[in-house]
Amino acid sequence: MTLHGKKALVIGGAVGIGRAVCQAFAAAGACVGVADRGWSEEKSSIVAELKASGVDAYCDEVDVRDEGSVSKVIQHAISRFGQLDILVNNAGMTSAGAPMHEQDSALWSEIFATNVNGIAFGMKHVLPHMLERGFGRIINTSSQLAHKPVPNHGAYCASKAAVTALTASVAQEVARRGITVNCVCPGMTDTAMLYKGGAAFVEEKLKALPIGRPGTVAEIAATYVFLASDAAAFFIGQSLSPNGGDVMW
Ligand code: NAI
């Protein structure tokens, strides 16, 4: 599966799953813009890593809760590369969790602003360009928790279910215009986010997980390469689930 000649923007691409997606895209031959927030020296090292694969790469500051900020990084990618073929909306957040009757309302809003609004802004601002060109691949990051919700994480589970539904809705709007919109629903993946819910939560989930271990970021990234490639042209509004067997269908 090659992405040679393709130009990609990964929003939320500096660390974790997003960083692995950038690396996998570059290895497949795509030029990659990496948008994220709070760039440190360690995060910025992604640009040199990607360039070492022989592709063009750069990084950009974005806060996905701010529509203007999302629009700006998309316009920058289009002008920098001359076109944008692939957009990955991967930025997301979770929390330590709380039962619904103790849910902090500000945190609820922040989770939705990041996980849902951010993805909506990304699609809204890239689609005019993709519709004009008659080609595009949009890949949103949802979660297996969209399909198998857990207690005490209502905001996160509901936000990811919203991503899955939003993906399927928009996919139908543009399917006949050369654009595919799909989402990836990763299972437990070995990143900083996994441990936000506490060690006991992870231990409990792993006991019940058929494969018995979390996924690596590289195992998750492979699904994004597939969805971005020509091989996935017939995938419309799908939720693909690299999840170690936690949700099966
Ligand atoms: P992570 O915490 O390492 O990465 C999250 C990324 O989102 C970071 O790059 C962060 O800077 C960015 N981000 C968060 N808020 C932002 C904002 N307001 N503006 C711009 N960027 C922002 O976590 P991980 O695991 O790599 O998560 C990536 C995606 O995968 C998220 O959407 C997450 O919900 C999802 N996911 C993760 C799973 C896991 O087990 N690690 C399982 C299922 C889904």
How would you write 161-203 as a 3-class SS string?
HHHHHHHHHHHHHHHHHCEEEEEECCCCECCHHHHHHCHHHHH
pLDDT at 1 over 90: no
Identity of the amino acid at 206: L
The span from the CA of 129 to the CA of 177, in Å, is 12
Query: What pLDDT does 199 receive?
Result: 87
> What is the atom index within ligand 1 of the atom nearest the CA of 160?
34
Q: What's the CA-to-centroid distance between 132 and ligand 1, angstroms?
A: 30
Q: What is the pTM of this model?
A: 0.98
The span from the CA of 52 to the CA of 243, in Å, is 30
pLDDT in tens, 76-99: 999 999 999 999 999 999 998 999
Q: Is 22 in the pocket of ligand 1 (CB under 6 A)?
A: no
- Mutate which of 93, 111, 193, 195 for ligand 1? The one with the most ligand atoms within 8 Å of its CB, which is 193
SS3 (DSSP) at 31: strand
SS3 (DSSP) at 52: coil
Query: What pLDDT does 85 receive?
Result: 98
Q: Is 186 in the pocket of ligand 1 (CB under 6 A)?
A: yes
Identity of the amino acid at 153: H
Q: Is 215 in the pocket of ligand 1 (CB under 6 A)?
A: no
The verdict on residue 248 lying in a domain is no
Query: What pLDDT does 63 receive?
Result: 98
What tokens were used for 148? 């198998």
Residues 6+ apart with CB under 8 A from 110: 65, 93
HSE-up (13 A, CA, CB side) for residue 98: 9
What confidence tier does 177 reach under pLDDT thresholds 50, 70, 90?
very high
Query: What pLDDT does 148 receive?
Result: 95
Q: What's the CA-to-centroid distance between 7 and ligand 1, angstroms?
A: 22
Q: What's the CA-to-centroid distance between 226 and ligand 1, angstroms?
A: 20
Total domain count for the chain? Answer: 1
CA dihedral of residues 125, 127, 131, 132 (deg, nearest 10) = 20
Q: In sequence order, what E strands does the chain have? A: 7-11, 31-36, 57-61, 86-89, 136-141, 179-184, 239-240
Give 208's DSSP letter.
H
The verdict on residue 247 lying in a domain is no
Q: How far is CA 234 from CA 83, 105, 120, 171, in A?
A: 22, 40, 23, 12
Q: Is 16 in the pocket of ligand 1 (CB under 6 A)?
A: yes
pLDDT in tens, 130-156: 999 999 999 999 999 999 999 999 999
The verdict on residue 2 lying in a domain is no
Domain coverage including residue 137: 7-240
Mean pLDDT, the chain, integer: 97
The span from the CA of 70 to the CA of 68, in Å, is 5
Query: What pLDDT does 249 receive?
Result: 82
Query: What pLDDT does 157 receive?
Result: 98
Residues designated as active site: 156
Query: What pLDDT does 196 receive?
Result: 85
The span from the CA of 58 to the CA of 44, in Å, is 9
Query: What pLDDT does 200 receive?
Result: 87
> What is the atom index within ligand 1 of the atom nearest the CA of 90?
32
Q: What's the CA-to-centroid distance between 239 and ligand 1, angstroms?
A: 17
What confidence tier does 197 reach under pLDDT thresholds 50, 70, 90?
confident
| Stretch 208-237: mean pLDDT | 98
pLDDT in tens, 179-196: 999 999 999 999 999 988
The span from the CA of 106 to the CA of 141, in Å, is 23
The verdict on residue 81 lying in a domain is yes
> What are the backbone dihedrals phi and psi of residue 13, each rounded to the nearest 5 degrees, phi first?
-115, 10
Identity of the amino acid at 243: N
Q: Is 42 in the pocket of ligand 1 (CB under 6 A)?
A: no
What confidence tier does 215 reach under pLDDT thresholds 50, 70, 90?
very high
Give me the CATH number covering residue 173: 3.40.50.720
Contact 26, 224 (CB under 8 A): no
Q: What's the CA-to-centroid distance between 201 and ligand 1, angstroms?
A: 18
User: What residues form DSSP beta bridges with 208?
Assistant: none
